Structure 1
Amino acid sequence: MIEALPTLVPVGEYIAVGDALGCAPVLFHALSKVESLEDPRAIRREDHWWRKMRFASREAKAFDRKPNPKNMDDRWTILREMDAVCQADAPLNLRARNAAILCHSLCWSQIMGFNHRSCGFDDPRNWLDAVQTLQGQRECLIAFVTDNPVLQTAFQRRDYPAIAHHYNGPNYRANKYDEKLRTTVRKLETAGVTYA
């Protein structure tokens, strides 16, 4: 189902998210550029989370040093391969069942799988299914931000350090996430992108 997504997120998605959260749509457009280059099919494995969550089988360990390929189709293939290993390992360690999903960030907003509950899903597999459509991605991001009132207020106030802290994590300064977001917003506003 992921193949049916467009190459770039339509501007209407940013408008819908902004309207739902009482925020400027340009913020979510900038977030999308910073997180995924506006790719709704974006996927990234976070290896440090994978090593913490996976079962220590030989098959699971084989993915420890496997790089994130540039091609998103290849990344989705690796996720499916990892998930198959996790399913096989689940009888030995039930916690490993969803490890492949939990250690990936998905779609244009790059929300981590371990945040599935903040997106409104008890089961990470249902969250994975949801983010394979634009509507599901939009609804998950809205739920994720709504679940954290401090983050929602930060978006509403354009408080870039607070957005960075609550969206990207407490180490956001290391990669200048707040500055990247602010700069991208300025560029979009200067370019005159229409959000109507």
Structure 2
Amino acid sequence: MKFESRNNKKMLLLSMVHGVIIGVAGVFLFFIALHFFDGQAEKQVTNDKKTASKTTTTAKADDKAYTFYAQQYGVFSSEQSATEFLGTNPKLYTSAIVSFGGQYFVWSAVGTKEKEIKERVDKDSFVKKISFSGAKCESPALVEMPKVLSASKVSKFTFEGGKKKIDPPSKWASNIEAVSKVSDDILVIRLQLISHYTAQNKCLKIGF
């Protein structure tokens, strides 16, 4: 019986020591984990700040981008789908398909002011703020196109206002004349020109 008593005391003592060791180890592991995840979180925040800073810098680098507002009716994954949509909507006969980012957007007007588009929006459309840039183009005319199209009158859609004369893009005058026969609305004419020349010149960039 005395042997069992000594054994019990020994087992109790070992259990207490074992419990203390586990407790200390648990606290130690907790602090290691806390330090690790805090470090990871701090690192992630730093990386996020760097990414945001890089994005801001990239956005600021394109000083040739102009802001426009489009009346958008839909976005499609293929040109065929967008064309079929236009074909089944007679009221969109002056609308156009604008392609960028692997998608096809159906727009019916492009203005320089949000208010211009808001006045046209119906239950099937909405205002889409966009940027338009020719900064990546080699042709001086294409570089200047967003600026030219920001003019308040179609008669000012020319490339003669700068210090240096710039030859307009191919068939510029004839394209304006052709579109004007369908509509004399500057928002429609601007849209059709953007649609046509972005399809022909991949260096012209549209973004959100």
**TM-score category (smaller protein):** under 0.3
Higher strand fraction (1 or 2) = 2
Higher helix fraction (1 or 2) = 1
Larger RCO (alpha carbons 8 Å, 6+ apart) = 1
Q: What's the TM-score once normalised by structure 2's chain length?
A: 0.22
Q: What's the TM-score once normalised by structure 1's chain length?
A: 0.23
Structure index of larger Rg = 2
